[in-house]
Amino acid sequence: MTYIKQNDLIQSVADAFQFISYYHPKDFISAMGKAYELEQGVAAKDAIAQILTNSRMCAEGHRPMCQDTGIAVVFLKIGMNVQWGDATMSVTEMVNEGVRRAYMNPDNPLRASVLTDPAGKRKNTGDNTPAVIHYEIVPGDDVEVICAAKGGGSENKAKMVMLNPSDSIVDWVVKTVPTMGAGWCPPGILGIGIGGTPEKAMLMAKESLMGPVDIQELIARGAKTRAEELRLEIYEKVNKLGIGAQGLGGLATVLDIKIMEYPTHAASLPVAMIPNCAATRHVHFHLHGDGPAILEKPSLSDWPDVTWTPDTKKSKRVNLDTLTAQEVAGWKEGETLLLNGKILTGRDAAHKRIADMLAKGEELPVSFKNRVIYYVGPVDPVGSEAVGPAGPTTSTRMDKFTEMMLAQTGLISMIGKAERGPAAIEAIKKHKSAYLMAVGGAAYLVSKAIQTAKVVGFADLGMEAIYEFDVKDMPVTVAVSSAGISMHETGPKEWQAKIAGIPVTIA
């Protein structure tokens, strides 16, 4: 019989979520480093360099690698011989207390993103609780715990299908991945659950992502099971799509494919797929009744020797304080810029409120005339920081507001991550605007370009308030030009053709 103390679980969960906020798993870093070595796409290689540099900076500075510090997911395998000797809380309450302590840690506060009343008022809980907890009761004398932080950008790309038993799983995956866009911040990992029932398939897809990145070992030894054959086939075919880092086109779209299976009904073939992004975050530990878990810190030597710095020779410096619509209209897709001066921020909640105010004829709290907006919800600052990690959020969520913002507010450009949809691209083309892309998964690196930050509107929205940032050499790429040409369309087409070994023709 093992006695687990209440505070040992609480402290271990708190330590784990702090730990994964700034430490990538070692196997993930190795895989990303290998992808950097092999990558031939210029934009993709630059994006991976930013991600790796950001990762090392976070390990050194103990600050979040992504501004979206995720929804807390916890897998618990509780031994049947375990007792909770001094517990006054339920196990769920213990886990949530650990999450609360982690996210409200004053030395490294993590962004609270969890909302109650999801179909209604969507009110932030303020401490990122409750966690999503999965329990399993197993033989044994200890408690096995996996803590993971899943960002909204990757979670929003989850897919599930009920195939016919004779359908091809590989064909469905290869057809589906391009529909996911780049909001899941590739290169990353695809977790696939096969069998069971719909909800079981989804759970297996999520749990499979907790495994080690070991596709290269599998390639070296060869497949021994049908699931391993599927991993290899999907890995090869998805990477041949040419989507590449951040969706800009390149060789590395996935670093691994993970699969879990479960017996299913004779009439069914449930298949679920969930991606893990460039901010892959999870840690595993056991509690044996001898105190809180001790988490093994990685060595800085585990990171590849990659350091990204602004390229002032190849990138154009832009003065945001004197920026004109004519200058924006002259930017070309694929051009890299270093932004200097003042930008405004705003994401889902701010855009919705702006739309409501404009519909009522009300004056906005700040003018967007000839301004650039950055889609971001930053982490709170600590110490001398102007702002905490402040990477971009997925831009497609703002697509339905793009025409309104460009037509009614005087806005002339936008910054975010991933692709824009047809409606947004049409609005950009119509108004001779441009969409700029910052690298998702490089939030701490990006934050170093922010010199000052202040809230200038909608303070009650917390991290979704409108800020004004003063930036110095903030790196971005012109992802959609004023002609409506999108790098997220041309880049993958170009690289898919290159990978296939055929002449490249982009319409």
Query: Yes or no: is domain 316-492 CATH 3.30.9.10?
Result: no
| Residues 115, 182, 457: CA angle, nearest 5 degrees | 45
Alpha carbons 445 and 447: distance in angstroms, whole number: 5
Q: Which residue has the tokens 């749990």?
A: 207
Strand partners, 76: 135, 145
Alpha carbons 172 and 169: distance in angstroms, whole number: 5
| One pLDDT digit (tens) per residue for the chain, 507 residues | 899 999 999 999 999 999 999 999 999 999 999 999 999 999 999 999 999 999 999 999 999 999 999 999 999 999 999 999 899 999 999 999 999 999 999 999 999 999 999 999 999 999 999 999 999 999 999 999 999 999 999 999 999 999 999 999 999 999 999 999 999 999 999 999 999 999 999 999 999 999 999 999 999 999 999 999 999 999 999 999 999 999 999 999 999 999 999 999 999 999 999 999 999 999 999 999 999 999 999 999 999 999 999 888 889 999 999 999 999 999 999 999 999 999 999 999 999 999 999 999 999 999 999 999 999 999 999 999 999 999 999 999 999 999 999 999 999 999 999 999 999 999 999 999 999 999 999 999 999 999 999 999 999 998 899 999 999 999 999 999 999 999 999 999 999 999 988 665 444
Alpha carbons 382 and 106: distance in angstroms, whole number: 8
Strand 188-195: give its sheet, edge to edge. 159-163, 269-276, 188-195, 254-262
Which secondary structure element, helix H or strand E, spans residue 237, and what is its range? helix 226-239
Strand partners, 319: 340
Q: Would you list the domain boundaries of the chain?
A: 1-151+282-290+298-308, 152-278, 316-492
What single-letter DSSP state applies at residue 452?
Answer: E
Is the Cβ–Cβ distance between 247 and 477 less than 8 Å?
no
What pTM does this model have?
0.94
Phi, psi torsion values for 235, nearest 5 degrees = -55, -50
For the beta carbon of residue 74, count every other beta carbon within 10 angstroms: 22
Alpha carbons 354 and 456: distance in angstroms, whole number: 13
